């Protein structure tokens, strides 16, 4: 057998790789299926997704009520009915048992090892296992189905057993926030200038404050573009840092640019005229 035999277990996060559909129904597929069956037998598993063996292909094997192994290639759940919560175990999280809500009955389409399309209905434990395995093929584990608190509790329990995921954490501080900090300070002082006319201030000073506001608008906009460019560069180093993502940065940019323009407009009305 040329395919590598391996069982992916926590904290190996290859499990989160979404599987791609099988396009070639050839000898390699048969070898992967045979290897998966061996792992199932060795571990007494009721089901297995190919990604649990490190192969990111859309292959699910499950034991039916007779103990025969069903080969589900490229399975898709079309319909579901009812919801039942029941305790589940999976090979990926050793020694963890957790209550997971699942559909009671599902209807699915899948292909066999020769690429022929079939459909089936499953209920009870079989439906439960199929759902769990299909979740794996889309990059989800059973912890994707529970609350954040439950997930953290499980991870804590696993950590007690010495199983700690290698986390690439987003740094608590980032140098790009300096761009925001400077902008916020400029905006704050620009905002204060809007009230200058309430005080007995000379025309020359008012004119200087107006000039400060005009420059401030430009500087804040430049800083925000600098923030975005620097942030994108910085984000490349921390792939798990969700706050580095473009949406958040654009949001931060937009807020300050809008504020700068609004204050600039206010300055034009109150100080410029």
Partner 1 sequence: MARVVVLGAGVSGHTAATFLRDWLGPQHEVVVVTPNSKWNWIPSNIWVGVGQMTKDDVVFDLAPVYEKVGIDYRQAKAVSIHPDGGEAEDVPYVTIEYTGQGKEGEKELVSYDYLINATGPKLNFGATEGLGPDNGYTVSVCTADHATHANEELQKLIAKMKGGERQKIVIGTGHGMCTCQGAAFEYIFNVDHELRKAGVRDLAEITWISNESFLGDFGIGGLHMKRGGYAASSRLFAESLYTERGIPWIIGAHVNKVEEGKIHYEQLDGSTGELEFDFSMLIPPFSGVGLKAYAKDGSDMTDKLFAPNGFLKVDADYSGKPYEEWKASDWPRTYQNPDYPNIFAVGIAFAPPHGISKPMKSPNGTPINPTPPRTGMPSGIIGKTVAMSIRDMIEKNSDKPTHHASMAEMGAACVASAGKGLTDGMAASLTVYPVVPDFEKYPGIGRDIDYTFGEIGLAGHWIKHILHHMFLYKAKLKPGWTLIPE
In the complex, the residues that contact partner 1 under the rule CB under 8 A are 13-14, 16-18, 20-21, 23-25, 56, 74, 76-79, 107-109, 117, 119, 135, 138-140, 144, 168, 236, 239-240, 242, 245-248, 250-252, 254
Least distance between partner 1 and beta carbon 247 (Å): 4
d(C-alpha 115, C-alpha 192), whole Å: 70
Output 141 or 193, the one with its CB closest to partner 1.
Answer: 141
Q: Which residues contact 247 (CB under 8 A, 6 or more apart)?
A: none
From CA 239, how far away is CA 16, in angstroms rounded?
A: 14
Residue 44 or 247: which CB sits closer to partner 1? 247
| Least gap, CB of 214 to partner 1 (angstroms) | 20
Instruction: Return the structure tokens found at 115.
Output: 């690429």
Q: Can you tell me which residue has the tokens 């740094």?
A: 171
Count of CB atoms situated within 10 Å of the CB of 267? 23
Minimum Å distance from CB 200 to partner 1?
A: 38
Nearer to partner 1, 67 or 247 (CB): 247
Spatial strand order of the sheet with 59-63 comes to 47-49, 59-63, 69-90, 93-111, 117-123
How far apart are alpha carbons 182 and 223 in whole angstroms?
8
Instruction: Considering the complex, state which of residue 207 and residue 240 has its C-beta at the smaller distance from partner 1.
Output: 240
User: Which residues partner with 69 through β-bridges?
Assistant: 63
Please identify, using beta-carbon distances, which residue of 110 and 270 lies nearer to partner 1: 110
220 token code pair: 């804040």
Tell me how far, at minimum, the Cβ of 95 lies from partner 1, in Å. 23
Shortest CB 120 distance to partner 1, Å: 8
């Amino acid at each position: 057998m040329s395919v590598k035999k391996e069982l992916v277990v926590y904290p190996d996060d290859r499990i989160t790789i979404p599987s791609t559909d099988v396009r070639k129904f050839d000898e390699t597929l048969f070898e992967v299926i045979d290897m998966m069956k061996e792992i199932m037998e060795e571990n007494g598993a009721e089901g297995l997704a190919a990604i649990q063996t490190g192969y990111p292909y859309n292959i699910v094997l499950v034991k039916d009520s007779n103990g025969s192994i069903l080969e589900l290639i490229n399975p898709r759940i079309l319909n579901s009915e009812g919801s039942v919560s029941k305790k589940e175990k999976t090979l990926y999280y050793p020694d963890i048992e957790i209550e997971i809500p699942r559909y009671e009955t599902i209807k699915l389409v899948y292909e066999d090892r020769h690429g022929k399309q079939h459909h089936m209905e499953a209920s009870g434990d079989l439906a439960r296992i199929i759902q769990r395995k299909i979740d794996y093929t889309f990059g989800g584990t059973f912890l994707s189905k529970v609350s954040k608190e439950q997930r953290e509790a499980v991870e804590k329990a696993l950590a007690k057993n010495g199983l700690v995921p290698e986390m690439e954490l987003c740094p608590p501080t980032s140098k790009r926030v300096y761009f925001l900090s400077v902008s916020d300070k400029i905006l704050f002082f620009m905002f204060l200038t809007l009230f200058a006319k309430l005080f007995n201030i000379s025309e020359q000073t008012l004119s200087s404050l107006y000039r400060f506001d005009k420059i401030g608008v430009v500087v804040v906009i430049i800083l925000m573009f600098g923030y975005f460019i620097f942030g994108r560069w910085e984000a490349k180093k921390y792939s798990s840092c969700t706050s580095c993502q473009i949406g958040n940065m654009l949001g931060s940019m937009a807020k300050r640019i809008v504020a700068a323009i609004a204050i600039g407009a206010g300055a034009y009305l109150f100080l410029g005229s």
